[in-house]
């Protein structure tokens, strides 16, 4: 089923994101995580895509396992960096052939350590707008297409206004819905949604949630994606940074409160960045449902 249809029929949605494992042992661990999380009956689940298509085989493998083995609707991430048009079409034709109906269209990250991409890194498409436009022209409505939004702006954007205009370009090119980058301050999200609506962006906007489970890790992630860790969170996390159980409990409590407020504010959906682990995400969803929230 297409995610656009799911969103039209039922909101708020709850969804989970995974990444392709690199080893057989990691794949076994991911399957165990999927087994635990599929019991929560999410609206859909997604699998990320390595830079330049480096994990394309594993992305397809995980997406099909989500769809076929666990009977969940699945979405494959897809990036255009470092890939030629013929290769892009070949991968997407294969997606359609095996029954994948949902694609999360992204430009993809620049090569690590290089301020500017090397020549040929964006051979045919410069950004996600180009990719989405091509998807619609080449494949019509074969896919439901999602795109990324940045409540605190993309780290390469000069300002939030420019970034919002680029987001509107993605939607006008054919994106059906938006999933945001991780963030921790709901005021930032609600302001982002308000600005989107004022700009004429009417598609569903799903909030990206990453429960804190490791302090050093979350500091690294936020430094890469441009998200801000609230001062209050840093003050409360730093004294317990070396206590994994305390950090996990804190992250679950923070994200539960965050999601509760989002749901009260009418959010279209919650998308959990699971990092291929189940405990935090499962506990947050169970906390919310235990409070009578319909998810």
Choose between 6 and 121: higher pLDDT: 6
C-alpha 145: how far from its chain's center?
Answer: 13
The CA distance from 178 to 201, in Å, is: 10
Give the domains, in start order, of the chain with CATH numbers: 3-290 (3.20.20.220)
pLDDT of 121: 47
pLDDT of 56: 64
DSSP percent split of the chain into helix, strand, coil, nearest 5: 50, 15, 35
Positions annotated as catalytic residues are 17
Percent of the chain's residues with pLDDT above 70: 92
Both tokens of 171, joined, read 């939607």
> If you ran DSSP here, which 8-state letter would residue 69 be given?
I
The CA distance from 215 to 225, in Å, is: 16
Lowest mean pLDDT of 12-16, 32-36, 104-108, 187-191, name the range.
104-108
pLDDT of 168: 98
115-152: pLDDT as tens digits: 555 554 455 677 899 999 999 999 999 999 999 999 99
58 pLDDT band, cuts 50/70/90, is confident
258 pLDDT exceeds 70?
yes
Percent of the chain's residues with pLDDT above 90: 79
198-224: pLDDT as tens digits: 999 999 999 999 999 999 999 999 988
Q: Which residues pair with 18 in a beta bridge?
A: 47
Spatial CA neighbour of 277 closest among 242, 254, 248, 257:
248
292 pLDDT exceeds 90?
no
The CA distance from 229 to 164, in Å, is: 21
Instruction: Give the mean pLDDT of 11-22.
Output: 95
Instruction: Give the mean pLDDT of 267-272.
Output: 98
Choose between 94 and 293: higher pLDDT: 94
146-190: pLDDT as tens digits: 999 999 999 989 999 999 999 999 999 999 999 999 999 999 999
pLDDT of 119: 53
Q: Phi and psi (nearest 5°) for 144?
A: -90, 130
Spatial CA neighbour of 180 closest among 249, 269, 109, 103:
269
């Amino acid at each position: 089923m297409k995610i656009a249809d799911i969103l039209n029929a039922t909101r708020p949605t709850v969804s989970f994101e995974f990444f392709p494992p690199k080893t057989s042992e990691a794949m076994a661990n991911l399957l165990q995580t999927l087994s635990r999380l599929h019991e929560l009956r999410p609206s859909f689940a997604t699998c990320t895509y390595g830079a330049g298509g480096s994990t394309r085989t594993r992305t397809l493998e995980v997406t099909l396992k989500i769809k076929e083995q666990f009977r969940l609707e699945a979405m494959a991430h897809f990036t255009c960096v470092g890939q030629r048009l013929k290769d892009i079409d070949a991968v997407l034709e294969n997606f359609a052939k095996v029954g994948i109906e949902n694609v999360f269209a992204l430009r993809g990250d620049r090569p690590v350590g290089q301020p500017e991409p090397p020549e040929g890194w964006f051979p045919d498409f410069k950004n996600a707008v180009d990719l989405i436009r091509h998807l619609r022209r080449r494949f019509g409505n074969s896919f439901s297409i999602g795109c990324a939004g940045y409540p605190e702006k993309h780290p390469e954007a000069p300002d939030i206004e420019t970034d919002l205009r680029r987001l509107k370009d993605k939607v006008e090119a054919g994106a059906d819905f938006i999933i945001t980058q991780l963030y921790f301050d709901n005021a930032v999200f609600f302001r982002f949604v308000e600005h989107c609506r004022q700009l004429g962006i009417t598609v569903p906007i799903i909030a990206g949630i990453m429960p804190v489970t490791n302090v050093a890790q979350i500091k690294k992630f936020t430094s890469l994606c441009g998200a801000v860790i609230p001062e209050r969170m840093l003050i409360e996390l730093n004294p317990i940074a070396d206590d994994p159980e305390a950090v996990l409990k804190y992250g679950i409590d923070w994200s539960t409160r965050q999601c509760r407020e989002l749901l009260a504010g009418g959010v279209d959906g919650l998308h959990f960045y699971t990092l291929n682990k189940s405990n935090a995400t499962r506990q947050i969803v169970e906390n919310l449902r235990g409070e009578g929230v319909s998810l």
